[in-house]
Amino acid sequence: MFPFRRGTDRVTPAQALRTTIDGDAVLLDVREQVEWNAGHAPGAVHVPLSRLVTGAALPSVAEGRPLVVICRSGHRSQRATKLLAGRGAEAVDVKGGMNAWAAAGLPVVDERGSSGRIA
């Protein structure tokens, strides 16, 4: 069960982690490829906002599942959440984005699975 209202709620990084680990939600990172390569949350799924805006579909692992959307600071994820909600997806965004995620001490990995950084 997804504990948040579609397209309206913002969640903390800790809530995002809990919802994606303990629930059926998918953490969707909407940053650009270079940002993703430098550092992202382990287990996140990547679809840049620039692709979503042009109508790109979600990866099959995210289809029909609740989405917790994240970017670097929270601005793009809010936009993506509204766009996805308009498509009928159940989606919330992470307040403060990956900056807040890293500041909370949550794991960040690079494209090789090593310790990453937020770019």
Residues serving a catalytic function are 71
Q: What whole-number distance in Å separates Cα of residue 78 and Cα of residue 21?
A: 21
CA 113, 117, 119 angle in degrees (round to 5)? 120
Q: Which of 22, 29, 23 is nearest to 94 (CA)?
A: 29
How many angstroms from the chain centroid is the CA of residue 66? 11
Q: How many CA atoms lie within 13 A of 40 on its CB side?
A: 24
